Amino acid sequence: MGNEVKTARNYLQDDEVSLREIVMKLREFIGEVARNWKVVLYFIVPIIVLMLIRAFVTPKEYEAELTFMVNEDEGSKLGGVATILENIGLAPTTTNSEYNLDKILELMRSHRIISRSLIQRTKLKDEEDYFANHLIKVYNLHKEWKKEKPELATFLFTHDSIRNFNRQENTAMKIVSKKLLGDNNSPAMLSSSISENSGIMSMKLTTRSEKLSIDLLKTIYQNLSKFYIDQTTSKQRDTYEKIKHQTDSIRVELASTERELATFLDQHQNLIPQRAQLRKEQLEREVFVLNTMYGEAVKNEEVAKFALKNKTPFIQAIDVPVEPLKVIKKSKKKAIIMGLLLGLLLSTLFLIGRKVYRDAMAEE
């Protein structure tokens, strides 16, 4: 028992010695930094100057934001029409609203939507050109390409036929798209988010040009909306077009048969032989059948039209960006604070490292 108590006391004494040594070392280090305050200034001042220069030379950026909502609650509105829709192959399907919202924002970042948007035209500083070319000029990408991709040193897009792009045009489009969407080397200019409570979606675009931010964001939204609606209603639209074509064909056939019957009756006003009577009855039956088919086809066409309208998602812009936009600029106050902290950290590490080295050399 006595040995255990003695051992415990030894441990406590060792801990006290270790803690005392740590405190003493910290005091030494603090004293070293305080004595060499000029060295600290030599670190802090140049770093603050560099941070301020960076804040001054970094161009201003303009953030455009567009919010919108999607309404796809089609299933609950069909009521008894659902049975008719099933009969013509348009049975309503239930959709996961949360999944669709995520899908919409993923589509926004797709190459299809971005490239279609970049190859549309807008006027910037009295110069009408493709959005892609405006981005190339605003961000001076030719200067970067001159070093990294000499073949693109003077490249600009000259047509909007994406299908016919050659290798050089595809390469340039991918680079400009990456500039917009961001990668490991640069932050994204285009971002998106969803409000979990309301389901309202937000798109933000930040560029060095106020008008470019507004026009390009609106164009991306329009292309996204059109593509999503087209894809969502493709089955219903195809079915509607087929039924409409069938209805038109029956209508033409009915009109032709009715004219033939009318001509026949005009030619046999007074006397109709037995053989002619047979032809008359055949024409009348054809007219009756075609009338019945036409009535059913018209009903199916109306149902298909209703299904198409009902399936079409309602995409509504809530807030669209207008001038003036929020200006994003490097803060001079933050630059000074960051320079101060960074300079203090580096100078402290330098002075402590130097003291440790000198103490080690002195012991030898």
Q: What is the pLDDT of residues 225-268, one digit of tens each?
A: 889 888 777 777 777 778 888 888 888 888 888 888 788 777 76
Domain count, the chain: 3
Predicted pLDDT at 57:
74
107 closest CA partner among 321, 322, 315: 315
pLDDT higher than threshold 70 for residue 138: yes
Residues 127 and 201 both lie in one domain: yes
Is residue 87 included in any domain, yes or no? Answer: no
Domain span at residue 254 reads 236-311
- The proportion of the chain whose per-residue pLDDT surpasses 90, expressed as a percent, equals 28
Question: Which tokens sit at 132?
Answer: 């892609």
Q: Which of 15-29, 289-303, 331-345 has the highest mean pLDDT?
A: 331-345
| Residue 360 pLDDT class (50, 70, 90 cuts) | confident
More confidently predicted of 352 and 223: 223
* pLDDT for res 320: 92
The kind and range of the H/E element at 192 are: strand 190-194
In a shared domain, residues 324 and 180: yes
Q: Which two tokens stand for residue 72?
A: 């796809």
Q: Are residues 146 and 205 located together in one domain of the fold?
A: yes
Least confident piece of the model among 10-24, 152-166, 204-218 = 10-24
Decide if 109 is inside a domain.
Answer: yes
**Is 85 part of any domain?**
no
Contact 164, 173 (CB under 8 A): no
| Cβ partners under 8 Å of residue 312, min gap 6 | 229, 232, 233
**What are the DSSP calls for 53-89, one per residue?**
HHHHHSPPEEEEEEEEEEE---GGG-TTHHHHHHHTT
User: Is residue 82 in a domain?
Assistant: no
* Residue 19 pLDDT level (bands cut at 50, 70, 90): confident
Q: Indicate if the pLDDT at residue 303 is higher than 50.
A: yes
Going by C-alpha positions, the residue among 313, 343, 338 that lies closest to residue 75 is 313
Average pLDDT over residues 304-320: 78
What is the pTM assigned to this prediction? 0.67
What is the model's pLDDT at position 263? 81
Residue 186 pLDDT grade (very low, low, confident, very high; cuts 50, 70, 90): confident
